[in-house]
Structure 1
């Protein structure tokens, strides 16, 4: 069993959908599960729908119409006959979405987010499945929510591995080409949950683990895993091979090519992960597996933008001790902050974090009751694995460094 995952960039238009068919014909599609993300920037467009639902109802229908027009154009480019059943199926998905937005009574943003955002994946996989069948690549469309079961931690759900394993083992036919959605699951009440942004890679790893797959391939618009994001760093190099441990480190620090949770289930069963280009499917790309940490050996650069740096000190200049640190972490957990860096001294504690759930002001109010608080918004967190002093000096040039932390293999720099 092979697992293929195609991201939004690979299906941003009709030509992208056709290219998926070309890739499958080129590399083979027997005993294959294809996992697909939402098309192009649909997830961003759906997030605007959700924001308008809560904050600007006058613009809600306009935002929805933009999503409809985008998908309808792809349909018209792929199918000659507007009476093709795919048009009715897509229409029904939009009707279902519209009905939810009308009848929903929950004020919980995170719940509404998860019930709404996944229509991007449902739309993309529906269109692609119909197209592949139309050109003779017979496939079975699956609703991933019937297989991947989670808790109800909306927007960052945790997998119920036992139930998920049972459902996949019982109800999944490995002998045909299957297509399903990334990013999604469902809780015990069958409400939709999501696995976190970019969670489709994790979906591929979950299926691979439960199916004892021979490999997972993530198809990207880059030739493989690079040592730096070419949008922010010049002369990025292709990494031919990465060990599981090194890949987990890179993902933890924010390397965008691989979702942070993807590697653990693959490592446990030693399932190799390939990262390849959907523009050049026969190229080797990158393999993540047992073996050498990096090939070639080179510094790896990661940048996370729009971070928040918070620095705390006690009001009476007393030491920051275990009791204080425990309370700080309790508050970070309470307000669902994603922590990316921690540094403390005798009388200070600094943390660089992401405010995914828009709880920063509540957190700051809580902290100011017990600590002196200094914070900086919109800072950048740079991480270099396998650094050298020259590399650090070059990175710091023309930047204001707010915090710096070095370990044997890694340096992290918070700067503006």
Structure 2
């Protein structure tokens, strides 16, 4: 028996639901299935918006409800051919129940969390019913309401699962269903929702459908839990930020949980806990590319020769430092600090303390900063009054984490992280590493987050050296440079160098493209560019690319581009030029330019 979970992106349209159906029909030939589904993409948020609008007596809730109803009715029309009237009646009954719930909120002008959970539950209930009805036309499928077996407490919106009640009920329900259909049935289960002992509807938190799949998989002792989403697997970094990120074929539970804690989006560490406890493998697959192998998460650690497995980050943080002589040698300071933060419901995401005991650094969400500072000042009011302690706040920080089992016992890993950041002139505010050696975390400025991720990814994973060039001046020298780069591209790649021209300019126009200018048609690109040449504007555009290894190639003969060198250096570019004007600057300007190059750790090659 295996469990398959499909998220909202896999259920966004009738076409994607048909794709899900193909996957299920192919999978059931190999092994019996249980399927857990989320709401259609975006529906949960719309339902919660409906409830809030109704609470405010905003008549717009009716229009929002109509949109939800229309979307599900359209899905029935497009997907169901056999028994459509019966399915439509069932869907209409669910929609009527939803409307009644919203009307109740509207009349009371109040939406208690219990009503919010009831409202949110309709997304999965509608989705699971429609998917089961569609599949039932091709193979026996049964709608299963998770409230019939998934028992929780009454902490509405983030209810806790009572496993000693849930597990036997789940086993009994699925065994009975299998027996009734003689093993020829695919149960389609509502994710995200459960019920209290007395039958009140609850939800188990965002990412709840993944959690539901793990709960079901653990209860029936599944051979594998497959999480079907819209990416090919867990990637080495966020591909929206690091274009060279790649799919990881395999990783351990611990690596997956470390990556997810620090921002990786495919999985949430808490949601896979039931599967981890039973050592059930988790396979991440792409609904839209089912032939891709995906990422297998299990107990098995594979030595692929790489030090790190992945790099991730989480931003919007503040770094607080409690410091002072009143901490040195005094027992219980850390306990008092974290107890008072917990009492104010301030979540601490990173802790770093020097052995001198003079400081404790910790990272929290920016939004919690004032509450945390107030709590600290109250708890340590005597020490603050005596000026033996103080608290410093550094806002707009990000935590960058390098994760991997291969880092254990390997000297130089931390040095490689710090060297990669140092070369980019990125300052580290705090560092944390556990004794497991599985994670090295650094706190940096949020403004440096993208550049830091790319720099470390290049340092750990990329065999080719990447170099981005901005070429200004396309006369005899400049055009010869471009011609050589175009002709020798394959040769350079074979030698491990990936050189791209991301900026190109003559005296009239410029082109800036982070993916690289086509050097086979650079003249046309310049002629057709709408951007008029202005060195400061070009430098700004290049700075927005947040390049980690780049150089300005100045092939001009006059002083105008030399005047803009500081802007390009600040944009993280080295300077390469046959232009003599920089070396002929007045001494003070020349010295200032050299100081800037040294401070930014950039080369000036003449």
Report the alpha carbon displacement of residue 70 of structure 1 after superposing the two structures with TM.
3.3
TM-score, normalization by structure 1: 0.85
Within 2, Cα distance between the matches of 1:354 and 1:77?
45
Within 2, Cα distance between the matches of 1:238 and 1:218?
15
Within 1, Cα distance between the matches of 2:74 and 2:373?
46
Which runs of 5 or more structure 1 residues have no equivalent in the other structure?
none
Report the alpha carbon displacement of residue 106 of structure 1 after superposing the two structures with TM.
10
Aligned alpha-carbon RMSD (Å) = 3.3
Report the equivalent of 2:242.
Answer: 233
Report the equivalent of 1:412.
Answer: 441
Matched, 1:41 2:73: no
1:298-313 aligned at under 5 Å gives the runs 298-305=308-315, 307-309=316-318, 311=320, 313=322
State the SS of the aligned residue for 2:326. Answer: coil
Match of 1:208 among 197, 217, 220: 217
1:147-158 aligned at under 5 Å gives the runs 147-158=149-160
State the SS of the aligned residue for 1:99. Answer: helix
Report the equivalent of 1:242.
Answer: 251
Matched, 1:68 2:45: no
Asked whether the equivalents of residues 303 and 381 of structure 1 are also in contact (C-alpha less than 8 Å), the reply is yes
Distance change in 2, residues 1:56/1:382 (3 Å): farther
Within 2, Cα distance between the matches of 1:384 and 1:56?
48
Report the alpha carbon displacement of residue 17 of structure 1 after superposing the two structures with TM.
0.4
Report the alpha carbon displacement of residue 376 of structure 1 after superposing the two structures with TM.
6.1
Report the equivalent of 2:232.
Answer: 223
1:176-215 aligned at under 5 Å gives the runs 176-215=185-224
Which runs of 5 or more structure 2 residues have no equivalent in the other structure?
381-389, 405-412, 447-606
1:10-409 aligned at under 5 Å gives the runs 10-28=10-28, 31-54=32-55, 57-79=58-80, 84-104=85-105, 110-133=113-136, 135-172=137-174, 173-174=177-178, 175=183, 176-293=185-302, 295=304, 297=306, 298-305=308-315, 307-309=316-318, 311=320, 313=322, 318-319=326-327, 323-344=332-353, 346=357, 348-353=359-364, 365-370=374-379, 379-386=397-404, 389-392=415-418, 394=420, 397=424, 402-407=429-434, 408-409=437-438
Within 2, Cα distance between the matches of 1:124 and 1:322?
55
Distance change in 2, residues 1:194/1:394 (3 Å): farther
Within 2, Cα distance between the matches of 1:95 and 1:214?
39
Asked whether the equivalents of residues 51 and 102 of structure 2 are also in contact (C-alpha less than 8 Å), the reply is no
Which stretch shifts more, 392-401 or 240-249? 392-401
Report the alpha carbon displacement of residue 46 of structure 1 after superposing the two structures with TM.
2.7
Report the structure, 1 or 2, having the larger helix content. Answer: 2
Distance change in 2, residues 1:40/1:6 (3 Å): same
Within 2, Cα distance between the matches of 1:44 and 1:160?
26
Larger Rg over CA atoms? 2
